[in-house]
Amino acid sequence: MEYQIKEPFTSDKFQELRAGDTVLLTGSIYTARDAAHKRLVEMLKQGEPLPFEVKNSVIYYVGPTPEKPGNPIGSAGPTTSYRMDAYAPTLLDLGETGMIGKGQRGQEVKDAVTRNKAVYFAAIGGAGALMAQRVEHSEIVAFEDLGAEAVRRLLVKDFPVTVVLDSQGGDLYEEGRKAYLESRM
């Protein structure tokens, strides 16, 4: 199925989604890759406040290229998600409701997605210029020294993603592989 979901990105809005569904997201999402995730978790361990509200947030695993004049962001394709697996369960337990990236996730992340009624979306790898066209505004909110890996708040409109892990334990990669193998028999 195809859905259009607007901010706020509360978990109840993601409950009906199932692995394989396509979604157009509209609202504020945050960017963070592994260096930023590491800093966020270190801040939590030290009892420091985070630079943005994690509850009901969607984090896009991306390190965009510099923007061209007149554009809010450069190419913005997803990065490989497993590099955030060590940190994702902590943020999910704080109320993060969605993650956007590419590739499979480890079992701890899958368990945290189900436990927290969250969702993991995949964005189209190799289509960073097209993804950037869905970004209306970009601003750095933390860790400017990380350059492309700084945490940004993006305002997106009809940002296209596919549900990979749903809140009920569905996994598109496993289900798709199984369906393919069954069709070959």
Active site positions, annotated = 37
Q: 59 - beta bridge partners?
A: 30, 99
The secondary structure of 28-39 as a DSSP string is EEEE--HHHHHH
Instruction: Look at strands 58-60 and 22-31 and give their pairing.
Output: parallel
Specify whether the backbone of 20 is left (phi greater than 0), alpha (psi in -120 to 50) or beta: left
For the chain, the straight-line distance linking the first and the last C-alpha, in angstroms and rounded, comes to 27
Tokens 């939590």 belong to 44
106-111: which pairs have CB atoms within 8 A and are 24 or more residues apart?
Answer: 106/82, 109/85, 109/165, 110/165, 110/169, 110/171
54 and 43 in contact (C-beta within 8 Å)? no
